[in-house]
Every structure is written in C-alpha cells, then in structure tokens.
Structure 1
Amino acid sequence: MEKVNESTLDWNESDHGETAFRRKELSSAVDADDLGCSLYELPAGMRSWPYHYHTANEEAIYVLAGDGQLKAEDGLEPLSAGDYVALPADERGGHRVVNDGEEPLRYLAISTMNEPDITVYPEMEKFGVFVGSPPGGRDERSLEGYYNLDDETAYWDE
C-alpha cells in the first residue's frame, strides 16, 4: 500500500482563457497503474477541460466543496458538495465542469486508465488518440495525437 496526503503535493496549473484550474495528481503520487484520481480546484467563473468523452475510460466526479454545473450530453446539471457523477466510456459520458459560483469548486476526478483510448471533443470537432499510456497516464506513448473529426484519408494510396 502506498499513501500520500494531498497537502504534501504541489498544484499544477492550467490557464487557457476560460479553461483555468489547479490540479494535484493523487494517483501519480502513489504510482497507481489502473486507477486515476486527481484533485481539481476550479476558480469562480472558470471551466475545466473542454467538453469531451472517452471511448475506453470511465470517469467519475465527486464534488468536495463549492457549487457549479456539469455540462453533460443533455445540457447543464447543477453540482454541489457531496454530488457524485458517473461518466460512461461513450457519448453519454460527455462532460465539462463549469464553476458559475462565487467560491472555488473543488472535486475529485476519478477514472479507469485503459489504453488505447480515443477522446472525442465534439464542440472542437477534434479527437485525440492515446496508445501506450492513457490520457492522464505517466508512461511514454507509442502513438498520440489530435486530429480533426472530418479528416479523411483513403486506406489505399491510389
């Protein structure tokens, strides 16, 4: 068994316009292989990763503190402390966390760590490919990249 206290970990910060958050990778700190878990802190008025879903990895969100909304396949759903949301590995699991409150929103994001995985970003009209290590994984990848959904190439060169 490996154990870590989140207070001993440094925050990693991401800031891309409306997408701004702090993250502590709990599972990385204990070298977990098959289960991912990160602590997120989303400032007031900010949003998490762009709306997306995975094809090979289930995710879950558990809200620790604050209020916000979850952008899901069927629209916005309110989020508050104590809420747990399971996100299946398909279109039904599409999500983005939005902090429309006045205080920071803190939550755990938990996921399986299966690879290969295709992550689809419908609003960006892109998808990502991850082989050798899943999204959020620490190992070297043998293949990865982001592509436009409407890119098309023939199987055979003619």
Structure 2
Amino acid sequence: MSTQNPPIVNPAKLQLEHWTQGTFYESRDTSFGALLGLKDLGIGYGEVPPGKSGCPFHNHHVEDELFVILEGHGTYRFGEERHLIGPGDVLGAPAGGPETAHQIVNTGTVPLKYLSISSIAATEICEYPDSGKFLAKTRVSTGGTTEFRTIGRAGEEVDYWEGEPGA
C-alpha cells in the first residue's frame, strides 16, 4: 500500500493565490502538476474576474499550451484574431512566433474558470508582442525551479566579445 497521495486533484478544493497587477490583470490561481506527480507536464487552474486577464499577450518558442474553459465566457486573442470562448471550449497555443501569441480575457459577467496545461521545457523563450519584451528562462526538470531568468527588450544588440576580459 502506497503512503503517497493519490494522483487526483479537485480544482474546487485547491488553495488559490489571489494577485493583481495594474487595472487589467487579476487572477486567483495555482499550479498543481506536482500534486499529481507530473514532472514534464504543467497544469494549473485559474479564475479571472470579469474585465480582466490572467497574463499579457505572449507566445512561447518551445512550450505548447492548452486551455480548457470550465465556466464563464471570454475572448481568446490568438495572433491577430479574436475568438469568443465559453464552457467546454479547448484552446490550443502551440509554440511558435507572434502568430501563436495568445491571451484569455474575461468579457463575461462572472469569473472565467479554466485549466491550463503545458509542456515543460528545460529552456524557454517567451515574447510579449504588445510591449516588445522577451523572457528567457531555464529550469531544473525536477520541481520546476528556475535557475536562470531574465526579461529584456529586443533591440539592444551587443557583440559576442563585448565586456569580456582580454577580448
């Protein structure tokens, strides 16, 4: 008999972290892949209030994402298009360039509740087309701890040897 927790999670019983950023971003959410024993698959649950989004418009270069809408209604901004979404809809966000940039916005009157599922890569680059930023990060495969993380803005290029001693 195993002393380990069973690989079962009910999102309604999860402890959610509430956060806000500015006037447009707000969510109650959590990641719970580790509770299921998953090492290379990320899974989260989020509740976004009306008129808000849980993240900026962005695209991943390595990781694929998938969203399952559980309750509420919103708009799925994908590339240059916008799609109305509601309960039962499954949204794909494959790795790629700006054409796969994505964002979920709650345009309904009740909290938008969804699952987010993603592949977990050792190294990832994300771009944020609205702000011109990029995120570069690496992580240890066990536990998902980030070892390197930097956010910058494209446009300032330096020579490979710049600043190196003796170069």
Q: State the TM-score, normalizing by the size of structure 1.
A: 0.90
Q: Which moved more, 1:2-11 or 1:144-153?
A: 2-11
Q: Which runs of 4 or more aligned residues in structure 1 lie more than 4 Å from their structure 2 counterparts after TM superposition?
A: none
Matched, 1:9 2:14: yes
Q: In the alignment, is the contact (CA less than 8 A) between 1:19 and 1:46 conserved in 2?
A: yes
Partner SS for 2:152: strand
Match of 1:141 among 142, 146, 166: 146
Alignment correspondent of 1:129? 136
CA distance in 1, matches of 2:34, 2:17: 13
1:149, distance to aligned residue in structure 2 (A): 1.5
Change in 2 beyond 3 A, CA 1:114/1:63: same
Alignment correspondent of 1:95? 102
Match of 2:54 among 48, 66, 84: 48
Kindly report which structure 2 residues correspond to 1:12-91, keeping only aligned pairs within 5 A, or say none. 12-17=17-22, 18-91=24-97
CA distance in 2, matches of 1:50, 1:67: 18
Q: Which moved more, 1:50-59 or 1:138-147?
A: 138-147
Partner SS for 1:90: coil
| Unmatched segments (≥5 aa) in structure 2 | 1-5
Residue correspondences, number: 156
| Unmatched segments (≥5 aa) in structure 1 | none
Q: In the alignment, is the contact (CA less than 8 A) between 2:39 and 2:143 conserved in 1?
A: no
**Percent of pairs with identical residues:** 26
Aligned-residue CA RMSD in angstroms?
Answer: 1.8
Partner SS for 1:29: helix
Q: Which moved more, 1:63-72 or 1:89-98?
A: 89-98
Q: In the alignment, is the contact (CA less than 8 A) between 1:65 and 1:105 conserved in 2?
A: yes
1:152, distance to aligned residue in structure 2 (A): 1.2
1:8, distance to aligned residue in structure 2 (A): 3.2
CA distance in 2, matches of 1:62, 1:7: 15
Higher Cα Rg, which structure: 2
CA distance in 1, matches of 2:147, 2:94: 26
